[in-house]
Chain A
Amino acid sequence: KFSQISRSYDIVCLLGRSYRCKCRPPARDQFQEELVIRPLHSGDIYASFQFRTLWDTDFLQERQKKVSHYRLFPKSLGQVLSKFSVRELHISFTQGFWRTMQWGQPFIPSPPGAELWVWFHHTVSDVDGNWKELTNVLSGIFCASLNFIDMTNTVQPSASFKPLGLGNATDHRFLRYATLPREIVCTENLTPWKKLLPCGSKAGLAVLMKSEKLFHSSFHSQAVHIRPICQDEQCTSKAWELRQTLNVVFDHYTSGQGKKEWSLFKMFSRTLTEACPLASSSKVYVDITDNPELFELSPATHLLSRAVVLGDRRTYSVYDLTRAETFGQLRSFNLLLRWKGDNMLRPLLHAERYVAGFGLQTGEIHTVIYNNHPYRAFPVLLMDSVPWYLQLYVHTLTVTSKSRDNKPSYIHYQPAKDRHRPHLLEMLIQLPPHSMTEVTVQFERALLKWTEYTPDPNHGFYVGSSVVSALVPSMVAMSTNFTQDQPLFSSFVPVKEESSYFVRVYTEPLLVNLPTPDFSMPYNVICLTCTVVAVGYGSFYNLLTRTFQVDEPSPPLAKRLANFIRRIRGVPLLA
Chain B
Amino acid sequence: KQVVLFYRLTKVLISYCFILVIAEMQRGRYAALAIAAVVIVVGIPLWWKTTETYRAWLPFSEISELDSLQLQLSVDIEVVFSRGTLTPEQQKKFPLSHVNQKEHQVDAKTGLRYKYETRYRTATIMEEDALNQPTADLSLHMLSESSCGSVVVYVIPESAALLPEDVKVYVGQRRTALLRSPPFKSSWSLKEVLSNLDMEVEQVVSTMSFSHQDIVAALSDRVRMAKVTKESMADSMRAIKSSPGYEITFSLLNPDPRSHSLHWDIEGAVQSCIQPLLNKLAPIANFSVDSQILYYAVLGVNPRFDNSVSAYTLSADSLSHVINPVEARLGSNAASSNPVLNFLLYVPDSHHSPLFIRDHSKREVPSNAFHSPRWGGIMVYNVNEMYGPEAERPVDININMAKVMGVFLAQLRLMLGVQHTHPPTGFVLQSPGSAGLADWELDRLLWSRSVENIATASTTITSLAQLLDQIGNIVINDNIAQQVSSAVTSLQSAVAELEAGNLAFALQYSREAILASERAFFDPSLLHLLYFPDDQKFAIYIPLFLPMCVPIVLSLLKIVSEAKKKRADKQAKSD
Residues on the B chain within 8 Å of A22, using CB: 398
Residues of chain B contacted by A537 (CB below 8 angstroms): 547-548
Question: A202 contacts which chain B residues (CB < 8 A)?
Answer: 295-296
Q: Given A10-B406, A19-B401, A70-B290 in contact, is the A2-B371 Cβ separation under 8 Å?
A: no
| Stretch of A72-80, A281-289, A465-473 on the interface side | A72-80
Assembled-state Cα–Cα distance A1/B288 (Å) = 24
Contacts of B289 in A (CB 8 A): 68
Across the interface, do A9 and B406 meet the contact criterion of CB distance under 8 Å? yes
A196 nearest CB across to chain B (Å): 9
B152 at the interface (CB under 8 A from A): no
By the criterion CB–CB under 8 Å, are B410 and A80 in contact?
A: no
| Cα–Cα distance between A8 and B21 once the two chains are bound (Å) | 106
B46 close to chain A: CB less than 8 A? no
Q: Which of B515-542 contact A (CB under 8 A)?
A: 540-542
Task: State the interface size on chain A (CB cutoff 8 A).
Answer: 67
Which chain A positions have C-beta within 8 A of B367? 6-8
Q: Contact partner of A4 among B21, B290, B291, B370, CB < 8 A?
A: B370
A330 touches B (CB below 8 Å):
no
Interface-located stretch among A436-444, A539-547, A558-566: A539-547
Cα of A531 to Cα of B541 in the assembled complex, Å: 10
Query: In the bound complex, how far is the Cα of B289 from the Cα of A523, in angstroms?
Result: 56
What is the CB-to-nearest-CB distance from A477 to chain B, in angstroms, rounded to a whole number? 42
B292 at the A interface (CB under 8 A): yes
In the complex, the answer to whether A531 meets B401 with C-beta atoms within 8 Å is no
| Interface membership of chain B positions 330-356, coded 1 if the CB is closer than 8 angstroms to chain A and 0 otherwise | 010111100000000000000000000
The answer to whether A15 touches B401 (Cβ under 8 A) is: yes
Whether A545 lies near B555 (C-beta < 8 A) is yes
Q: Compute how far the CA of A527 lies from the CA of B402 in the bound complex, rounded to whole angstroms.
A: 77
Question: What 0/1 pattern do residues 1 to 24 of A give for CB contact below 8 A with B?
Answer: 111111111111111101100101
Contact of B196 with A by CB under 8 A: no
Hey, what's the 0/1 contact readout for B274-285 against A, CB within 8 Å counting as 1? 000000000000
Asked if B24 lies at the interface with its beta carbon under 8 angstroms from chain A, I say yes
A575 with B10, Cβ < 8 A, contacts A8-B366, A9-B409, A277-B258 known: yes
Docked-complex contact A68 and B288, CB < 8 angstroms: yes
Chain B residues near A277 (CB, 8 Å)? 257-258, 394
Q: Is B369 an interface residue (CB 8 A)?
A: yes
* In the assembled complex, A338 has its CB within 8 A of some CB on chain B: no
Closest to A201 in B: B296
A contact residues around B316 at 8 Å (CB): 3, 5
Contact B35 A544 (CB under 8 A): yes
Contact with B290, one of A8, A12, A69, A278 (Cβ below 8 angstroms): A69
- Shortest B572–chain A CB gap in Å is 25
**Could you tell me the distance between the alpha carbons of A546 and B546 in the complex, rounded to whole angstroms?**
20
Interfacial chain A residues near B41, Cβ < 8 Å = none
Does B373 sit within 8 A of A, measured CB to CB? yes
Contact between B272 and A2 (Cβ–Cβ < 8 Å)?
no
Tell whether, in the assembled complex, residue A545 and residue B35 are in contact, meaning their CB atoms are under 8 Å apart. yes
Is A538 a contact of B258 with CB atoms below 8 Å? no
Rounded to whole angstroms, the CA-CA distance of A16 and B273 in the bound complex is 10
Partner of B268, one of A3, A15, A526, A542: A15
A71 at the A/B interface (Cβ < 8 Å)?
yes
Is B472 part of the contact surface with A, judged by Cβ < 8 Å? no
How far apart sit A364 and B540, CA to CA, in the bound complex (Å)? 42
CA distance A521 to B271 in the complex (A): 65
Cβ of B121 to closest chain A Cβ, rounded Å: 36
- Chain B residue with minimal CB distance to A68? B290
Query: Once the chains bind, are B547 and A534 in contact (CB under 8 Å)?
Result: yes
Known contacts being A14-B272, A546-B28, is A69 close to B267, with CB within 8 Å? yes
Q: Is the interface of B mostly helix, strand, loop or mixed?
A: helix
Shortest B294–chain A CB gap in Å is 9
Q: Which of A283-326 contact B (CB under 8 A)?
A: none
Which residue in chain A gives the minimum CB-CB distance to B331? A76
Please determine whether A11 and B555 come into contact, CB atoms closer than 8 angstroms: no
Given A22-B398, A531-B543, A534-B544, decide whether A6 and B334 contact each other with a Cβ distance below 8 A.
no
Residue B124 is within 8 A (CB to CB) of chain A in the complex: no
Chain A residues, Cβ within 8 Å of B10: 575
A538 to B550, CA, bound (A): 10
User: Nearest chain-A residue to B359 (Cβ)?
Assistant: A5
Question: How many Å lie between the Cα of A260 and that of B266 in the bound state?
Answer: 54
- What A residues does B292 contact at CB under 8 A? 69-71, 75
A548 touches B24 (CB 8 A): yes
* Cα distance, A550 to B543, chains bound together (Å): 35
When chains A and B are docked, how far (Å) is the Cα of A402 from the Cα of B323? 67
Interface membership of A164, Cβ < 8 A:
no
- Whether A79 contacts B548 in the complex (CB less than 8 A), given A1-B373, A547-B27, comes out as no
Q: Is the CB of A71 within 8 A of B273?
A: no
Distance of A66 Cα from B296 Cα, bound (Å): 27
Partner of B24, one of A24, A83, A535, A547: A547
Is A549 interfacial (CB-CB < 8 Å)?
yes
Q: How many residues of B contact A (CB 8 A)?
A: 89
Cβ contact within 8 Å between A199 and B410 = no
Known: A3-B316, A11-B406, A13-B406. A530 touches B543 (CB 8 A): yes
Could you tell me the distance between the alpha carbons of A278 and B394 in the complex, rounded to whole angstroms?
Answer: 10
- Residues from chain A with a CB closer than 8 A to the CB of B359 are 5
Is A235 positioned at the interface, with any CB of B under 8 Å from its CB?
no
A141, CB-defined interface residue at 8 Å: yes
* Bound Cα distance from A14 to B273, whole angstroms: 7
Q: Which chain B residues border A6 with CB–CB below 8 Å?
A: 365, 367, 369-371, 377, 407, 410-411, 414
B372 at the A/B interface (Cβ < 8 Å)?
yes
What is the distance, in angstroms, from A82's C-beta to the closest C-beta of chain B?
Answer: 8
B190 to chain A, nearest CB (A): 43
Chain B residues positioned under 8 Å from A75 (CB to CB) = 249, 290, 292, 331
Most chain A beta-carbon contacts within 10 A, residue among B322, B357, B400, B543? B543
Contacts of A548 in B (CB 8 A): 24
Given A11-B436, A19-B400, A69-B266, are A76 and B375 neighbors across the interface (CB < 8 Å)? Answer: no
Which residues does chain A contribute within 8 Å of B544, judged by CB atoms? 530, 533-534
- Scan B107-124; emit 1 where CB is below 8 A from any A CB, else 0: 000000000000000000
Q: What is the chain B residue whose CB lies nearest that of A203?
A: B296
Is B500 interfacial (CB-CB < 8 Å)? no
Report whether B409 and A11 are in contact in the complex, using a CB–CB cutoff of 8 Å.
yes
Residue of A nearest to B434 (CB): A14
User: Are the CB atoms of A545 and B28 closer together than 8 Å?
Assistant: yes
Question: CA separation between A9 and B410, bound complex, in Å?
Answer: 5
Is B32's CB within 8 Å of the partner chain A? yes
CB pair A541 B35 closer than 8 Å: yes
The residue on B at minimum CB distance from A528 is: B543
B413 close to A (CB within 8 Å)? yes
B45 within 8 A of A: no
Q: Which residues 56-91 in A have Cβ within 8 Å of B in the complex? A: 66, 68-72, 74-77, 79-80, 82-84
Q: Is A357 engaged at the interface, CB distance under 8 Å to the other chain? A: no
Give 9 nearest A-B pairs by CB, closest first: A9-B410, A534-B547, A68-B290, A8-B367, A530-B544, A530-B543, A83-B335, A3-B319, A202-B296
Chain B interface residues (CB < 8 Å from chain A): 7, 10, 17, 20-21, 24-25, 27-29, 31-32, 35, 234, 238, 249, 257-258, 263, 265-273, 288-293, 295-296, 316, 319-320, 322-323, 329, 331, 333-336, 357, 359, 365-367, 369-373, 375, 377, 394, 396, 398, 400-402, 405-407, 409-411, 413-414, 431-434, 436, 540-544, 546-548, 551-552, 555
23 contacts between A and B (CB under 8 A): A3-B322, A5-B357, A8-B367, A9-B406, A10-B431, A11-B409, A13-B401, A13-B402, A13-B434, A15-B401, A22-B398, A66-B288, A69-B267, A75-B249, A76-B334, A137-B334, A199-B295, A274-B258, A278-B295, A537-B547, A537-B548, A545-B31, A549-B21
Extra 7 A-B pairs, beta carbons < 8 Å, given A5-B316, A13-B405: A1-B320, A2-B373, A3-B372, A4-B372, A69-B291, A75-B249, A199-B257
* Chain A residues proximal to chain B, CB less than 8 Å: 1-16, 18-19, 22, 24, 66, 68-72, 74-77, 79-80, 82-84, 137, 140-141, 195, 198-200, 202-203, 274, 277-278, 523, 526-527, 530-531, 533-535, 537-538, 541-542, 544-550, 575
